[in-house]
């Protein structure tokens, strides 16, 4: 299975986040899976790549040309795919992957994981999507999700589009036992405006 990991490119974050990235990379390798990620040589992206590679997993980094030109491509990935831009990078990551995991990260990570949730919502794919909520990192995001459910911006069934894992073990267990939920194709009944 090709497992895509979205994650931070910051080296300035706390060690607890690197520990979880190392654990995830090791588990991907131990399960005989391949890692697909953004291919950068910094932050959690590099940490999960190194851990997966060191434990025997194939690792594929997909990086846009502009970032490669800034010497940001990992030397630890078995294969580096260079794309012309960020949009193509994300499309390649999605197309090549069988499952998606978000480790903590910044705006790019949030954009990537929310995009795959949106595409799942619209039935463009049925692949598993997992947040690893290290140190409660995503708690405020999940509170915003609750606002969307409570105020009818999103259906309750969309809670089934993703799984929140406390750690990498829970994330991998979910992926290995995943059965996609069947979504109804009906939109909200929209009342007439007054």
Measured CA to CA, the distance from residue 116 to residue 101 in angstroms comes to 10
Q: Give the pLDDT mean for 155-175.
A: 96
Asked if the model's pLDDT at residue 186 lies above 80, the reply is no
Which of these CATH numbers, 3.20.20.70, 3.40.50.800, 3.40.50.450, 3.30.200.20, describes 2-176? 3.40.50.450
Q: d(Cα 50, Cα 73) in Å, to the nearest integer? A: 13
The answer to whether 174 and 165 have CB atoms below 8 angstroms apart is yes
- Spacing of C-alpha 180 from chain mean position: 17
Cα 90 from Cα 38, distance rounded (Å):
8
- Partner residues linked to 79 by β-bridges: 60
Whether residue 184 has pLDDT greater than 80: no
Whole-number pLDDT of residue 194: 61
- Per-domain residue ranges of the chain: 2-176
Task: Please name the helix (run of DSSP H) or strand (run of DSSP E) that holds residue 60, with its range, or none.
Answer: strand 59-64
How far apart, in whole angstroms, are the C-alpha atoms of residue 9 and residue 126?
Answer: 27
Round to whole Å and give the CA distance between 104 and 33. Answer: 21
Q: Is 125 exposed, middle or buried (0-12, 13-18, 19+ CB in 10 A)?
A: middle
Q: What is the mean pLDDT of the chain?
A: 94
Phi, psi of 68 (to 5 degrees): -65, -40
Q: What number of CA atoms fall less than 13 Å from residue 152's CA on the CB side?
A: 5
pLDDT tier, 185 (very low <50, low <70, confident <90, very high otherwise): low
The four Cα atoms 131, 137, 141, 147 give a dihedral, to 10 degrees, of: 110
pLDDT confidence of residue 183: 81
């Amino acid at each position: 299975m090709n497992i895509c990991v979205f994650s931070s490119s910051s080296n300035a974050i706390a060690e607890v986040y690197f520990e979880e990235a190392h654990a995830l990379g090791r588990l991907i390798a131990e399960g005989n899976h391949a890692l697909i990620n953004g291919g950068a040589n910094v932050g959690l992206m590099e940490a999960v790549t190194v851990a997966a590679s060191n434990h025997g997993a194939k690792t594929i980094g997909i990086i846009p040309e502009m970032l490669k030109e800034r010497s940001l491509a990992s030397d630890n990935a078995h294969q580096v795919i260079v794309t012309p831009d960020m949009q193509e990078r994300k499309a390649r990551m999605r197309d090549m992957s069988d499952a998606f995991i978000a480790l903590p990260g910044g705006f790019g990570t949030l954009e990537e994981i929310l995009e795959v949730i949106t595409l799942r919502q619209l039935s463009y794919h049925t692949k598993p999507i997992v947040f690893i909520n290290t140190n409660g990192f995503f708690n405020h995001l999940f509170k915003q999700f609750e606002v969307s459910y409570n105020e009818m911006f999103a259906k309750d069934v969309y809670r089934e589009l993703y799984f929140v894992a406390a750690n990498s073990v829970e994330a991998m267990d979910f992926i290995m036992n995943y059965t996609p939920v069947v979504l109804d194709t009906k939109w909200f009944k929209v009342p007439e405006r007054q």
